[in-house]
């Protein structure tokens, strides 16, 4: 996991105390997480709890009734929605909507598009990677939530240091340059803020580890961390024509999941479709389009170049690992 110096931990924790003053804690979401720790939880108790947060309750119902689940009859009862989702999906739904929505509220308007574009893409891609590769150690819904929560630190920094951070966050290179700029200007980066925030909220250690490592190539990292890194790289490639991260993406997908260029193209197509469904679920409209033809052309060209120079592949992996 990302190693954090003690003084940096103290700086981030002091930074996060300002968040408590700006926002009340998402108490309903956290209470639902507490209630559902018990596999034998009472659905009526959870429904009663959700009714204290109408926006969160509406999000749960919107998810169940979305095209993602494809139900033939509309669900209008919270208890029915809870029963349909089941314990794991309910916890991840509340985690995603309750905690993310709390922090999105109040962030600068110009920041919303960039945040949702990356987060929904990472979430959708992470879920697709687990399903396309049949990684049994990683639950698809956990992967989705990890993708959605990975950049929470950016939301916090945008709210607490708006003038300083919003311009900084427009750095087109999210993978490396943004991290370097954050550390130079803020004294820490959004990975550390996300890690400390999720630790405070007592979320699962595997999810926290994946969020902390989602910019880092670590061959021996957990399967969820590998999935989230690949999803982060794919988000960079899908929304940035001619992205320099096509080669690292192919290397990570190939080395960690045995995926070739055709698998990458399938992943890109299915991720785009999944992002469109996620927009419906989260009631978000994203600007711009993912150009699948351009991505396929770049992927095949890069694949052919890599086939001619295996040594360059290894150099790229080592440089990628060292930089991050």
Considering only residues 145 and 129, tell me which one the structure prediction assigns the higher pLDDT: 129
Instruction: Return the C-alpha torsion angle 195, 198, 204, 207, nearest 10.
Output: -50
DSSP code of residue 172 = S
Per-residue pLDDT, averaged over 135-152, amounts to 87
In the chain, CATH 1.10.3210 sits at 6-23+108-323
Would you give the distance in Å from CA 3 to the centre of its chain? 20
Per-residue pLDDT for 162 more than 70?
yes
Residue 35 and residue 45: Cα distance in Å, rounded?
8
**Cβ(234)–Cβ(121) under 8 Å?**
yes
Per-residue pLDDT, averaged over 238-248, amounts to 91
- Mean pLDDT for all residues in the chain: 85
Per-residue pLDDT, averaged over 301-323, amounts to 62
Residue 144 and residue 287: Cα distance in Å, rounded?
21
Residue 172, burial from CB neighbour count under 10 angstroms (0-12, 13-18, 19+): exposed
pLDDT of residue 283: 78
pLDDT of residue 182: 93
**3-class SS of residue 92:** helix
Place of tokens 């110009």: 110
**Could you give the percent of the chain with pLDDT greater than 90?**
39
Element (H, E) at 265: helix 261-282
Place of tokens 């997480």: 33
> What is the full DSSP assignment across 288-318?
S---HHHHHHHHHHHHHHHHH-HHHHHHHHH
Per-residue pLDDT for 246 more than 60?
yes
Express each pLDDT in 63-109 by its tens digit: 888 877 888 889 999 999 998 888 878 887 887 787 777 777 767 77
Per-residue pLDDT, averaged over 136-163, amounts to 88
pLDDT of residue 316: 52
pLDDT of residue 167: 85
Express each pLDDT in 15-24 by its tens digit: 888 876 655 5
Considering only residues 105 and 253, tell me which one the structure prediction assigns the higher pLDDT: 253
Residues 6+ apart with CB under 8 A from 166: 108, 110, 111, 158
**Cβ(99)–Cβ(201) under 8 Å?**
yes
Per-residue pLDDT, averaged over 230-236, amounts to 96
* Confidence band, pLDDT 50/70/90 cuts, at residue 320: low
Q: What distance, in Å, lies between the first and last C-alpha atoms of the chain?
A: 12
**Cβ(268)–Cβ(238) under 8 Å?**
yes
Neighbour-count burial for 111-148, b at 16+ CB within 10 Å, e otherwise: beebbbbbbbbbbbbbbbbbebbebeebbbbbbbbbbb
Considering only residues 291 and 306, tell me which one the structure prediction assigns the higher pLDDT: 291
Per-residue pLDDT for 228 more than 60?
yes
Q: Which of 254, 256, 235, 257 is nearest to 307 (CA)?
A: 254
Residues 6+ apart with CB under 8 A from 309: none
pLDDT of residue 308: 63
* Confidence band, pLDDT 50/70/90 cuts, at residue 3: low
At the top level of CATH, the class of 6-23+108-323 is mainly alpha
**Cβ(254)–Cβ(238) under 8 Å?**
no
Residue 201 in tokens? 């909220």
pLDDT of residue 190: 94
Considering only residues 249 and 219, tell me which one the structure prediction assigns the higher pLDDT: 249
Residues 6+ apart with CB under 8 A from 222: 137, 206, 209, 210
Read off the pTM.
Answer: 0.85
Residue 188 in tokens? 């820490």
Per-residue pLDDT for 205 more than 60?
yes
**Phi, psi dihedral angles at 11 (to 5 degrees):** -65, -45
pLDDT of residue 20: 66
pLDDT of residue 295: 95
Per-residue pLDDT, averaged over 223-234, amounts to 95
pLDDT of residue 309: 64
* Confidence band, pLDDT 50/70/90 cuts, at residue 267: very high
Residues 6+ apart with CB under 8 A from 147: 119, 121, 122, 123, 124, 125, 126, 127, 228, 231
Per-residue pLDDT for 304 more than 90?
no
């Amino acid at each position: 996991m990302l190693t954090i110096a003690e003084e940096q931990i103290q700086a981030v924790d002091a930074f996060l105390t300002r968040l408590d003053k700006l926002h009340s804690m998402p108490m309903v979401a956290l209470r639902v997480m507490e209630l559902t720790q018990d596999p034998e939880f009472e659905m009526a108790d959870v429904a009663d709890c959700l009714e204290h947060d109408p926006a969160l309750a509406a999000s749960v119902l919107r998810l169940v009734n979305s095209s993602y689940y494809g139900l033939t009859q509309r669900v209008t009862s919270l208890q029915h929605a809870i029963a349909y989702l089941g314990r794991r999906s309910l916890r991840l739904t509340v985690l995603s909507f309750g905690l993310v929505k709390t922090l999105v509220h109040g962030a600068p308007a110009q920041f919303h598009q960039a945040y949702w574009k990356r987060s929904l893409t990472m979430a959708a891609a992470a879920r697709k990677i687990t399903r396309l590769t049949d990684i049994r150690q990683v639950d698809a819904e956990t992967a989705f939530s990890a993708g959605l929560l990975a950049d929470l630190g950016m939301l916090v920094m945008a709210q607490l240091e708006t003038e300083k951070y919003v311009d900084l966050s427009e750095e087109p290179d999210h993978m490396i340059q943004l991290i370097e700029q954050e550390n130079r200007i803020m004294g820490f980066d959004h990975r550390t803020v996300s890690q400390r925030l999720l630790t405070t909220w007592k979320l699962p250690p595997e999810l926290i580890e994946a969020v902390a490592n989602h910019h880092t190539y670590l061959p021996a990292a957990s399967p969820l961390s590998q999935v989230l890194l690949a999803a982060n790289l794919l988000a960079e490639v899908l929304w940035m024509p001619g992205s320099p991260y096509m080669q690292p993406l192919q290397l990570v997908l190939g080395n960690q999941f045995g995926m070739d260029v055709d698998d990458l193209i399938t992943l890109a197509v299915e991720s785009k479709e999944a992002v469109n469904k996620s927009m419906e679920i989260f009631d978000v409209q994203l600007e711009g389009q993912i150009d699948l033809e351009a991505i396929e052309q770049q992927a095949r060209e890069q694949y052919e170049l890599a086939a001619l120079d295996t040594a360059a592949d290894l150099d790229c992996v080592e440089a990628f690992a060292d930089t991050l």
